[in-house]
A and B are shown apart, each in its own frame.
Chain A
Amino acid sequence: MRLWSKVRSWVRALLRRSRMEREMDAELRFHIEVFAEDLVRNGVPREEALRRARIEFGGVERAKEECRDARGTSFIDSLLQDLSFGLRMMRKNPGFTAVAVLTLALGIGANTAIFSIIEAVLLRPLSYKDPGKLVLPAFVSADFFPTMGIWPELGRTFTSEEELHQAHVVVLSHGLWLRRFGGSPEAIGQNLQIDGIEWKIIGVMPATFHFPDKDQQFWAPLTTNRSWQEAALTTKIDPSNTRLFYARWLVVGRLKTGVSLQQAQAEIDSLFAHLAESDPDPNRAPVRAFPLGLNLSANMRLALFVLFGAVISVLLIACSNVANLVLARGAGRTHEMALRTALGAGRSRLTRQLFTESALLALVSGCLGLLLASFCLHALITFGPGDIPRLDEARVDARVLGFTLAVSLLATVVFGLIPAWRISQSDPQESLKGAFRSASGSVALRRMRNALVVLEFALAIVLLTGAGLLVRSFLALEEVDLGFQPERLLTLRVTMPAGVSQARTLVLHEEALERAAALPGVKAAGAISDLFELSNVQNLGLRAIEGREPEPPDKWTPLIWQTVSGDYLQAMGALLLRGRYFSQQDMANSPLVALIDENMARRYWPGEDPVGKRFKGQDPRGRNDDWVTVIGVVGNMRRNGLEREPVPHVFEWYKQSGSTPRDFVVRTAGDPRITAVTLRSLIRSLDPVAILSPVTTMNEQLSEQLSPRRFQTSLLGLFSLIALVLATVGIFALMHYTVAQRTQEIGIRMALGARRSDIMRFVIREGALLALAGVSIGTFAALALTRFISSLLFGVGASDPATFAGVAALLMVFALVGCCVPARRAMRVDPMVALRYE
């Protein structure tokens, strides 16, 4: 019963708030009037009676407030009141509101967008159980799936029986299953034609499983792979011929719980030591175990963490800016607060009001920030590089939303409660007398505000320095000496489906090269096994060098063997330093020849002329023991990544190496795009089964290589620009407020004879000193931090003096600009007005 009446009273209070307010008014007025009438009846004059009735009743507003409290609706009431008051305050100070909301929204928005990406790329489990425990095929062995800890969503995976019998069975990816079979369970048992061979579908993997990369469409038993069959065959015939499969198969293993990577490596090492004893092979390279999680390059990881740090910094700057704004406003409102206290508002009530105002600000900023975040995220996915795994899976999801709200709330607590606390510490009577306005009353407050601006500048310096170093690295990379001419160069990959004979492949290749070279506008055409060598380069050695002891495997260094055809080197524009290029006289049965690059010459024949020198390579056709003669030396080309030092190269001739290169390069005289179309249709007409990649220009290829760096650099650049703007706004707001607060002091100085230029200098000096403090602290912090990103830098030192000096100067200039406006305002102060200023 009692509970019911309470609820009824609450509901009534909520639904008919204004009516209850009216009734309360009427009731109290009735009381006072009847009381006054009684007094009149007792002989008190009418005017006097009303006055006495009011005095004896006591504070009407306070009684009302107590009545509202008694009714138990005061929390909601005061919340609504605070909210409407907060909204009114926001509308009343549009400048303050705009700056505060935009500042916070920027911080929260940028933060959410980047956090979403980090969440998708780094944090979201790779869908494999505990990916950190995996050591790094779509031909896979039967125990591959159990090792990955993943089970098919439909059907089964292969058995070791099927593996042994080279059964043509496949497991489909979820995507392929949806596209080809519309997600029908009847797909199991059907046949699928791949490369002209019938494969029986036995299972479908879940959508979350993509390995080795996200475009993987199906998995088949390892033993059905032609290369594996050949390799297995070759190994049995010629155990010394290991070149064919040195890095072809990646082995995946799951470590037992509690076993470290080092322990696993030690076990692999001892296993290989035993193998070396029982079956000696000087060409067997050591096997290295690495965790699967690292598949995402260490640099990409570092870059993402740098971005995350940048976001946190921007958010910190944004928060301290807003804190500063609210502190300034809070100090300006001391009088208002004192007045409210005197009128009967409790301290907790005032604190709650300030808190509500800040929360409102944070909430509005949070909403705007979330909008900004989804917009930014969309832009980042659209314009970001395509090679960041799972980037397109980034969504503003619930976890990210939670993160944003947490950040908003944290920001609220930070900047909402400091002023509230300051105000509650002040004595309302003193405040009412204006004591708080004098400079001495707010030393602590001033220090806090100064410290915040110093912090902003320090953070901005760190960000700008990092961004500056990355921009310089990017510029250095664009200027890097490639060793070849990328302009007007077309590239195209031509491969043949499995099962097509070597002879047919070679016929197409030679015909394609000949016809391409004859196209109008084509200066040279050739091909190479791989256009670029962007993965890790294997340590390799020469099996024999004429007149010298062979190198033991532990002395081997990275070495790249490539097969070239046609006028590859001429088309690339490589520099021929000595000797000659390959020619059509170099036949399959003529003496073996090779071209090497400068690095190779320096590695094996330092100080000698390598032309005419002989060494032994490994030829799968069984000419292993034939000497290979160096016929020429070309300049180094940055084929193994723009950021990496060129690795020694050996170029073999396609007629002698036994393999057909697949990547075509065509140098054109005019616009390469015109030739691109003709080239593609030409090769297509030669053999209809050939698989052609789109024709791209070399510059597009290079730009693609630089795209992750461009992405990181522009993001960090964007963040540091935001930081720069926010820090400038910060110092502007502080100086603006300082000038407003010290108008009186400035007036006195002027009255005492200070010139206007003195005043201006006085204001600017104060701002400049703060900025300088921030810049100094920031520079030291940056010096300590930039070495952690040295692996991301190229052609510039982590403590590059020019970058550091440039950034410091840039920030100082912005600080001075930020101080100029308030300084000019101070200069125009009228001493007479200022002295009367209250």
Chain B
Amino acid sequence: MDKKQMELLQGTLDMLILKAVSLGPLHGYGVLLRIQQISKDRLEIQQGSLYPALYRLEHQGWIASEWGESENKRKAKYYRLTAAGKRKLQTEAEKWNRMAELIEGILGTTAEEV
């Protein structure tokens, strides 16, 4: 394992999955690959925890699944973003950005500014 890999912040996996499938339908393994590809292999994702997250998101109606054929002609389950998921992703992203800004602001505070 690459020592530079970062562990995923709690609660962010859902958002990353939504983002990954927003770019086009993917099967579970594809979701994993895409997140790794986008993050340039700097995020470590527990493969086992990916599926419960996918099932949870589907159960909540943010993603939908259907069986299709994979690149190497095998049957695979493909996930795509639903309209509700799209909205969810948007609000989650906004929330994340606000939070990041806030944290950044706090961390960037110098003694004179207090």
Q: Quick one: closest B residue to A60, CB to CB? A: B48
For the complex, is A214 an interface residue (Cβ under 8 Å from B)?
no
Q: Are A27 and B51 in contact (CB under 8 A)?
A: yes
With A57-B47, A58-B46, A63-B52: A35-B29 Cβ-Cβ less than 8 Å: yes
- Minimal beta-carbon separation of A78 from chain B (angstroms): 16
A26 contacts across to B, CB distance below 8 A: 75, 77
Q: Are A5 and B60 in contact (CB under 8 A)?
A: yes
Whole-angstrom CA separation of A483 from B80 in the bound complex: 101
For the complex, is A577 an interface residue (Cβ under 8 Å from B)?
no
- Scan A45-81; emit 1 where CB is below 8 A from any B CB, else 0: 0000000000011111011001101111000000000
For A, the interface residue count at a CB cutoff of 8 angstroms equals 30
For the complex, is A194 an interface residue (Cβ under 8 Å from B)?
no
Q: Are B61 and A30 in contact (CB under 8 A)?
A: no
Q: Quick one: closest B residue to A67, CB to CB? A: B55
For the complex, is A2 an interface residue (Cβ under 8 Å from B)?
yes
With A23-B77, A30-B29: A70-B59 Cβ-Cβ less than 8 Å: yes
Q: Are A27 and B77 in contact (CB under 8 A)?
A: yes
CB within 8 Å of A: which B34-77 residues: 46-49, 51-53, 55-56, 58-61, 67, 70, 72, 74-77
- Minimal beta-carbon separation of B90 from chain A (angstroms): 16
Whole-angstrom CA separation of A266 from B60 in the bound complex: 78
Q: Are A34 and B59 in contact (CB under 8 A)?
A: no
Q: Are B47 and A58 in contact (CB under 8 A)?
A: yes
For the complex, is A17 an interface residue (Cβ under 8 Å from B)?
no
- Minimal beta-carbon separation of B14 from chain A (angstroms): 11
Q: Are B84 and A30 in contact (CB under 8 A)?
A: no
For the complex, is A6 an interface residue (Cβ under 8 Å from B)?
yes
For the complex, is B19 an interface residue (Cβ under 8 Å from A)?
no
B67 contacts across to A, CB distance below 8 A: 23
Whole-angstrom CA separation of A520 from B64 in the bound complex: 103
Most B CB within 10 A of own CB, among A1, A5, A27: A27
For the complex, is A9 an interface residue (Cβ under 8 Å from B)?
yes
For the complex, is B28 an interface residue (Cβ under 8 Å from A)?
yes
CB within 8 Å of B: which A409-461 residues: none
With A1-B84, A67-B52: A27-B58 Cβ-Cβ less than 8 Å: no
Most B CB within 10 A of own CB, among A35, A63, A69: A63
- Scan A86-118; emit 1 where CB is below 8 A from any B CB, else 0: 000000000000000000000000000000000
Q: Are A34 and B29 in contact (CB under 8 A)?
A: yes
Q: Are B29 and A31 in contact (CB under 8 A)?
A: yes
Q: Are A72 and B59 in contact (CB under 8 A)?
A: yes
B29 contacts across to A, CB distance below 8 A: 30-31, 34-35
Q: Quick one: closest A residue to B77, CB to CB? A: A27
For the complex, is A28 an interface residue (Cβ under 8 Å from B)?
yes
Q: Are B53 and A70 in contact (CB under 8 A)?
A: yes
Whole-angstrom CA separation of A30 from B53 in the bound complex: 17
- Scan A382-425; emit 1 where CB is below 8 A from any B CB, else 0: 00000000000000000000000000000000000000000000
Q: Are A9 and B28 in contact (CB under 8 A)?
A: no
Q: Are A2 and B27 in contact (CB under 8 A)?
A: no
- Scan A1-39; emit 1 where CB is below 8 A from any B CB, else 0: 110111001000000000000011011101101110100
A63 contacts across to B, CB distance below 8 A: 48-49, 51-52
B49 contacts across to A, CB distance below 8 A: 58, 63, 66
Q: Are B59 and A31 in contact (CB under 8 A)?
A: no
Whole-angstrom CA separation of A66 from B56 in the bound complex: 9
A33 contacts across to B, CB distance below 8 A: 74
With A67-B55, A71-B59: A59-B77 Cβ-Cβ less than 8 Å: no
Whole-angstrom CA separation of A1 from B75 in the bound complex: 29
- Minimal beta-carbon separation of A139 from chain B (angstroms): 78
Q: Are A2 and B75 in contact (CB under 8 A)?
A: no
The residue that B27 contacts in the complex, of A30, A37, A59, A70, with Cβ under 8 A, is A30
Q: Quick one: closest B residue to A53, CB to CB? A: B47
A2 contacts across to B, CB distance below 8 A: 60-61, 84
The residue that B59 contacts in the complex, of A5, A24, A28, A66, with Cβ under 8 A, is A5
Whole-angstrom CA separation of A188 from B67 in the bound complex: 80
A5 contacts across to B, CB distance below 8 A: 59-61
B48 contacts across to A, CB distance below 8 A: 57-60, 62-63, 66
A72 contacts across to B, CB distance below 8 A: 59
Q: Are B70 and A34 in contact (CB under 8 A)?
A: yes
- Minimal beta-carbon separation of B33 from chain A (angstroms): 9
Whole-angstrom CA separation of A447 from B84 in the bound complex: 60
CB within 8 Å of A: which B6-23 residues: none
Q: Quick one: closest B residue to A26, CB to CB? A: B75
Whole-angstrom CA separation of A4 from B56 in the bound complex: 15
Whole-angstrom CA separation of A34 from B47 in the bound complex: 13
A69 contacts across to B, CB distance below 8 A: 52
- Minimal beta-carbon separation of A42 from chain B (angstroms): 13
With A9-B59, A30-B29: A67-B51 Cβ-Cβ less than 8 Å: yes
With A5-B59, A9-B59, A57-B48: A31-B53 Cβ-Cβ less than 8 Å: no
Chain B contact residues, CB within 8 Å of chain A: 27-29, 46-49, 51-53, 55-56, 58-61, 67, 70, 72, 74-77, 84
Q: List 5 A-B contacts (CB under 8 A).
A: A1-B61, A27-B77, A31-B29, A56-B47, A71-B55
The 4 tightest CB contacts between A and B, nearest first, are A5-B61, A58-B48, A66-B52, A70-B56
**New A-B contacts (10) at CB < 8 Å, excluding given A27-B77, A33-B74, A56-B47:** A23-B67, A26-B77, A30-B29, A30-B70, A30-B74, A34-B29, A34-B70, A63-B49, A67-B55, A71-B55
